[in-house]
Amino acid sequence: MASTPTAPDPAIEPSSHGGQAHPIGLYLKVWILLFILSTMSYMVDYFHVQGFLRWALILIFMGLKAGLIVAVFMHMAWERLALICAILLPPLCLLVLVWLMAEEADYTFLTRGVFFK
């Protein structure tokens, strides 16, 4: 008995275009958002914001821009959660360890100032 040909399964057959494509509008929106965040970052210096607020705003804008770039241009938004955690958690752990070392160094510096006067 002859078998009837079936349509290829898209889950098994490789794609003919060779990769995933996203609409150009998405990239344009991200570019505009990056431009707006960069402008806001420059406005911090233009309006002469000083002290802790200045550094907090600059770091917030920097983090938002880096997150957008990683999420969209490096296609991290479309990856599995396990891969996202494997890539993003180690740098986050390193930042926490650097913060803890800085706190310990500050404590050591203050303690030496008290005991070696």
Each residue's pLDDT tens digit in the chain (117 positions)? 555 655 555 555 555 555 667 789 999 999 999 999 999 999 999 999 999 999 999 999 999 999 999 999 888 888 898 888 888 899 999 999 999 999 999 999 999 988 888
Residue 36 lies in a domain: yes
Closest CA to 20 of 67, 68, 58, 74: 74
Residue 10 lies in a domain: no
Report the sign of the C-alpha dihedral through residues 72, 73, 74, 75, in that order: positive
Full-model pTM: 0.64
- Domain coverage including residue 31: 22-78
30 and 59 inside one domain: yes
Residue 11 lies in a domain: no
Q: Which amino acid is at 25?
A: G
Cα–Cα distance for residue pair 87/94, rounded to 1 Å: 12
- Six token digits for residue 112: 């030496």
Are the beta carbons of 79 and 89 closer than 8 angstroms?
no
In sequence order, what are the residues at sequence separation of 6 or more whose Cβ sits closer than 8 angstroms to the Cβ of residue 54?
A: 44, 45
35 and 51 inside one domain: yes
Q: What does the pLDDT read at residue 76? A: 87
